[in-house]
A and B are shown apart, each in its own frame.
Chain A
Amino acid sequence: MQLFRYSTSIYGGSDVLIGASWDLLKWFAVAGAVIIVLHAVLKALTSRRVDRA
């Protein structure tokens, strides 16, 4: 998985950094989904514990 995007220099030099890799896009969306699911599960578990008490 690449973190950055590069373009090849037309003058034959080293590659030029041109931005963040868009391959990471799905991982940021996955991170959002993980936070949501973890919070929902944690909330459900703690509210059940409160109900029992």
Chain B
Amino acid sequence: MTVLHANMSVAESASGRVRRHLLVDRIYHWLMAACVLTLLATAFLPIIGYKFEWLGLHWTTGVALSALVLIHIVRAVIWQDFWAMMIDGADIRNGWRRVARALGGKGAEPALPGKYNGLQKLYHAGIAVLVLSIVITGLLMLLKIDTPLWRRNPYVLADYQWGWIYVVHGFAAMALITMVMVHIYFALRPDEWRLTRSMFRGWITRREYEEHHDKTRWAADAR
């Protein structure tokens, strides 16, 4: 596998491209996006007045999202560079320098990030908390509906416990709207277009890699 990666990197280096996302990760991203958008639409369109039979599509999509998240967690822990997405001291230092300079300060320039910058990692942490909250409460809420696989049994929890489960599910789902808006905004910004392209085609150019990333923190050539 490592040899395969190395060979791929040599070929990509020659063509001036650096691989950022494998096909499997891009497929995961777009399937997750489809699930989240479907879940938001089936949850909130009826609330704002577009009435339709939403529950069947909502819970089946929720189960699909749960499976995708489980696969992603296993993949991130075993096959991907788990720590590449964790906020570290360098990210905090860079973030502080960026804020100081944005406010007119003349301190040190922020250093280049690794594969992901501090804000991307922060965004990922936020999305992880929200989606895990939604998945866990959503799976519990399946106990309140009849499906082809099981009969409803809402009596496993008390009314007030169900109330709090619905509160967490609802707040996390509404916060997801904010997060999706911000995500789409950044994806459409021209200065972030290389990242959006990499989520479609898998690569950034070598020049983009050298301009925007610290080779010691994201050794793309070594993978």
**How many B residues are at the interface, by size bracket?**
20 to 34
Give every chain B residue within 8 A of A22 (Cβ-Cβ): 47, 170
Cβ–Cβ contact B177 & A39, under 8 A: no
Contact with A along B51-64 (1 / 0, CB 8 A): 00000000000000
B140, chain A: closest CB distance, angstroms? 13
Q: A35: which of B48, B101, B178 is its contact (CB, 8 Å)?
A: B178
Q: Do A18 and B178 contact each other (CB < 8 Å), given the known contacts A25-B47, A42-B102?
A: no
Contact partner of A29 (CB less than 8 A), chosen from B47, B159, B164, B178, is B178
User: Known contacts A18-B163, A39-B185: does B102 contact A46 (CB below 8 Å)?
Assistant: yes
Measured between beta carbons, the chain B residues less than 8 angstroms from A25 are 44, 47-48, 174, 177
Determine which residue in A19, A22, A36 has the highest number of CB atoms from chain B within 10 A of its CB, and name it: A19
| Most central of B162, B178, B179, B185 by chain A CB within 10 Å | B178
How many residues does chain A have at the interface if contact means C-beta atoms less than 8 Å apart? Answer: 20
Q: Contacting B166 at CB < 8 Å: which of A19, A24, A39?
A: A19
The interface residues of chain B lying within 8 Å CB-to-CB of A19 are: 163, 166-167, 169-170
Q: Which of B165-187 contact A (CB under 8 A)?
A: 166-167, 169-171, 174-175, 177-182, 185
Would you give the shortest CB distance from A11 to chain B, in whole angstroms? Answer: 11
Q: Quick one: given A16-B160, A25-B44, are A33 and B181 in contact (CB under 8 Å)?
A: yes
Which residues on the A side are within 8 Å of B166 (C-beta)? 17-20
CB distance from B191 to the nearest CB of A (A): 8
Chain B nearest CB: distance from A15 CB in Å? 10
Instruction: Please give the residue numbers on chain A whose beta carbons come within 8 Å of chain B beta carbons, in ascending order.
Output: 4, 16-20, 22, 24-25, 28-29, 31-33, 35-36, 39, 42-43, 46
Interface residues of B (CB under 8 A from A): 44, 47-48, 101-102, 159-160, 162-164, 166-167, 169-171, 174-175, 177-182, 185, 191
6 CB contacts below 8 A, A to B, read A20-B170, A20-B171, A25-B47, A28-B177, A28-B178, A35-B182
